[in-house]
Amino acid sequence: MSAAAASVVREAPPAAARPAQREPPASPAFRFVQSLADELSLGHVEIPSFPDIALRVRKVLADDNATPETIVRVIGSEPALAARVLTLANSAALNPSGSPVTGLRGAVTRIGFEMLRVTVVTFSMAQLRRAPEFRGLEKPLTQLWTDSVQLAAYAQVLARRMTTLQPDAAMLTGLLHGIGKLYIITRASRHPELFADRQAFELILRDWHANIARAVLENWGMPEEFVEAVHLFEDEIRDPRGLISLTDVLSVAHLFVTLGESPARLAAGLGESRSAHRLQVEQGPFEPIIEEAQSELLALRTALGD
């Protein structure tokens, strides 16, 4: 059980220690954490109210017998998504040569299946921000989206400059890094009383999002290196070994996003980071990385329709 769950469990004594007829109701935080634990134990975690097109695309991509024509047909059934895929394929982020593609099949071929999966997720996140059932949650959902795009830009730059990893893979993990928080925020919409205690809700986000992200991404069939990176990048006691991984890249990108406005704090955070030492960025200079990431951020926002 996480620290957040343990803290709410401690709010009430064991059932045997109090009369059944006087048992106090569980707190909203406890009930919510209990529901999260129950859902995780089932091992089939889905984002509430995710657009149907996301489920259909995921299903067809998981089918080894699906033809390119079938995949294109499913994507083309949602004009807004089809337009997003074409825009992304022709963006500066994925088309540095400037050679345009005009057909959906060519666009899918250019961006690849993993990028297509994440494109559907980002498209769905934009839809969720506008969904009537999440009215009042626009601010946290928009902030989560902003953080995801920023992290993706830094991860792409760090992978390209400091590693031999694929920059596109690093960008994808950045876009997916907050999927656990997205799940919690959308689930919490059914428990409005949670938002009355902002501190308790922040604790739930902090302590539960990594495990939920792992469950969601595994359920979606994402590559193991993506799942591991999103699950572990905030783990401060993780002992990185072996080759530099997407987890290292995402961890360092997170420091740039969260501490970048203060050069002194950024330098201190990178100096204490094992992943930063592995990428050899702890000594700086940081300005070239920040400038390049800002350029990538503009390109990525344009590509994703942000």
Per-residue pLDDT, 26:
65
What pLDDT is attached to residue 13?
35
CA distances from 269 to 156, 240, 244, 274, 277 (A): 20, 17, 19, 10, 11
Same domain, 123 and 159: no
Residue 162's pLDDT is 94
Residue 14 counted as domain residue? no
Which structure tokens are listed for 95? 């088309």
pLDDT score of 123: 85
| Whether residue 86 has pLDDT greater than 70 | yes
Same structural domain, 292 and 186? yes
User: Is residue 21 domain-resident?
Assistant: no
pLDDT above 90 (res 96): no
Which tens digit of pLDDT belongs to each residue from 158-205?
999 999 999 988 998 999 999 999 999 888 888 878 877 888 888 899
Q: Are 26 and 13 in contact (CB under 8 A)?
A: no
Cα–Cα distance for residue pair 201/194, rounded to 1 Å: 6
How much is the pLDDT for 4? Answer: 40
Do 297 and 218 lie in one domain? The reply is yes
User: What would the mean pLDDT of 3-12 be, rounded to a whole number?
Assistant: 39
pLDDT at residue 11 above 50? no
pLDDT of residue 5: 39
Q: What is the pLDDT of residues 223-237, one digit of tens each?
A: 899 999 999 999 878
Using pLDDT thresholds of 50, 70 and 90, give the confidence band for residue 240.
confident
Closest CA to 123 of 55, 59, 190, 64: 55
What pLDDT score does 7 carry? 41
What total of structural domains would you count in the chain? 2
What's the CA gap between 196 and 219, in Å, rounded? 32
Q: What is the pLDDT of residue 9?
A: 37
Domain of residue 181 covers 27-44+137-306
Q: What is the pLDDT of residues 14-48, one digit of tens each?
A: 333 334 444 445 677 888 888 888 888 877 677 87
pLDDT of the residue at 306: 62
Q: Are residues 59 and 121 in the same domain?
A: yes
Tokens matching residue 250 = 């995402």
Are 181 and 118 within one domain? no
Q: Mark whether 215 and 237 lie in a shared domain.
A: yes
pTM, full prediction: 0.80
The pLDDT of residue 6 is above 50: no
Can you tell me whether residue 69 is helix, strand or coil? helix
Q: Which of 79, 97, 130 is the last residue of a domain?
A: 130
Note whether 94 and 111 are same-domain residues: yes
**Same domain, yes or no: 118 and 153:** no
- Per the CB < 8 A criterion, the answer to whether 177 and 153 are in contact is no
